[in-house]
Amino acid sequence: MRKLLLFVPILLIAILSACVKDTVTSNTNPHIEDLYFDTHSKIVGLEDVIFTVDTTLCVIYNEDSVSHKCDFSRVLPIIDTYQTVNSLSINDKKWNFMDSINMNEPIVVKIVAGNKKREATYTITINKHTIEPDSIIWKSSYINEYNINSIKSFSYNNNIYVFLSNKNSETKIYSSNNGDIFNQVASFSNLSLNFNKSVIYNGKCIASSIDNKSLYYIDLSDTNAGFNSIELPENSEIIDLWGVLNNKLYCTLQSDAPHYMSYNGSEWTEETCNMLNELTAVGTAKINNKNTLYIISGSLNGKLTNNVLATQDGNYWINTINQADTLLYEPVKDASVVDYYDYFYLLGGTNDEGKTPTSYYSRNDGYTWEELKSFQRPANNFSAKENMSSCQQDDYIYIFNSSNTSRLEVWKGRINRADFIKK
């Protein structure tokens, strides 16, 4: 990686030649090809930093962070364009390629093509290593779906699956193996499911009907085969599906009274439970980590609760709120939780006023919570909406975010660690 401090006269010719290509015969492309600093720079470690140039979103950033101690207040970048440009400005001021720039904060670069007919505006960010937990670098895309009632995302067998049910009584499934482009793999009419209560069990997505009186499954190895029904115990309705432990699916059903049950793929069994009342909550967030199942928040007897229930055997539960000195998160309903690099991220959901509060994070034991830091959140144009799901695959975290009228946002984030090795 090349780099350069300001006021090094011997390098000025190199800088100008990097920005004006003599061999270019066309001058209609205003986009940036590369960003770097010359090797004469005294910023330690900068030669190892690689900048990603995204010509679609017009953003430039370094995925692997530099030390938070690095001072970029007086640096001279080399901005290499694809073709000859007419002008280049930084933060609305014309730049002569020789004046030093303060890059401690993101800068906005506007480029006008040589023919003056096309222009491009880039945001350039130098990501610095931050105090634990580290910052997360995000990029966004979309799935062209609207009017979503419920949504759930899963990582399974090196693929990310997104299940959604819309207001037209349709159920759709999208899939991606890299999280960049999602393709629809199945669609079913006259089938409206509640994916807020869905789980993955033995390679199958299991979800309840909207009225909670039926249970369905679909095999992820053959999604075109459609959904099949799972017979419930007689006169039962589903309160919620909690998750899988020891190859059993645990849930709470309502008939004459709440019943705590397990399902082994063929039959139902009544199970013992020391917190049956707490496990009648609805709209909870659920996560399975290190052979422990966690149930977070939700509405219990018509009131939001900030319980964090945990079990390792499916029968005996503890409430970590009783074990913690402080629990800072605001109770929510229908939030999403994801386990990513030793932390739980509690995202979205609605509070007592029907509003989406600030998101939270916790060590992945669920004992204490704090508000999500600014350097962990997606970009400023991100706003948590009514329907949200999140999952984790490889080194990335994914957030699927949609209102009743907006299209489905896809946010892909990667932790910004100095010791991170990209696969």
Please, which pLDDT band fits residue 4 given cuts at 50, 70 and 90?
A: very low
- Please indicate whether residue 68 or residue 233 has the higher confidence score (pLDDT): 233
Higher pLDDT, 21 or 316: 316
Q: Which residue has the higher pLDDT, 275 or 14?
A: 275
Which DSSP category does 50 fall into? -
| Res. 297: pLDDT tops 80 | yes
In total, the chain counts a number of residues equal to 423
Per-residue pLDDT of 168-198, as tens digits, reads 999 999 999 988 899 999 999 988 899 999 9
pLDDT score of 414 more than 70: yes
Residue 419 confidence (pLDDT)? 53
Listed range (132-136, 238-242, 383-387, 410-414) with the worst mean pLDDT: 132-136
pLDDT band at 293 (very low <50, low <70, confident <90, very high): very high
162 and 174 in contact (C-beta within 8 Å)? yes
Whether the CB-CB separation of 261 and 269 falls below 8 Å is answered with yes
261, 270 contact by CB (below 8 A): yes
Look at residue 45 in the predicted model and tell me its pLDDT: 59
207 vs 70, residue with greater confidence: 207
Task: Give yes or no for residue 416 having a pLDDT over 80.
Answer: no
For position 6, what pLDDT does the model report?
Answer: 36
DSSP state of 17: H
Six-digit token string for 320: 């970590």
Q: What is the pLDDT of residue 59?
A: 92
For residue 24, the model assigns a pLDDT of 43
Q: Position of tokens 């280049």?
A: 88
Cβ partners under 8 Å of residue 258, min gap 6: 239, 252, 276, 277, 279, 280
Res 17 pLDDT > 90: no
φ, ψ of residue 165 to 5 degrees: the values are -125, 130
Query: Domain 9-125 belongs to what architecture?
Result: Sandwich (2.60)
Q: Is the confidence at residue 261, as pLDDT, over 70?
A: yes
What pLDDT score was predicted for residue 46? 65
- What pLDDT is stored for residue 390 in this prediction? 94
Q: 136-415: what CATH class?
A: mainly beta
Residue 240, pLDDT > 90, answer yes
pLDDT in tens, 61-117: 887 777 776 788 888 888 999 988 999 999 999 998 888 889 888 999 999 999 999
Average pLDDT score, the chain: 85
Q: Report whether pLDDT(332) > 50.
A: yes
Task: For tokens 């090349």, name the residue.
Answer: 2
> What is the C-alpha separation between 297 and 317, in angstroms, rounded?
15
Is the per-residue pLDDT at 250 higher than 90?
A: yes
Q: Percent of the chain, pLDDT > 90?
A: 51
Percent of the chain whose pLDDT exceeds 70: 86
Q: Is this structure's pTM higher than 0.85?
A: no
pLDDT in tens, 121-172: 999 988 877 655 567 888 889 999 989 989 999 999 999 999 999 989 999 9
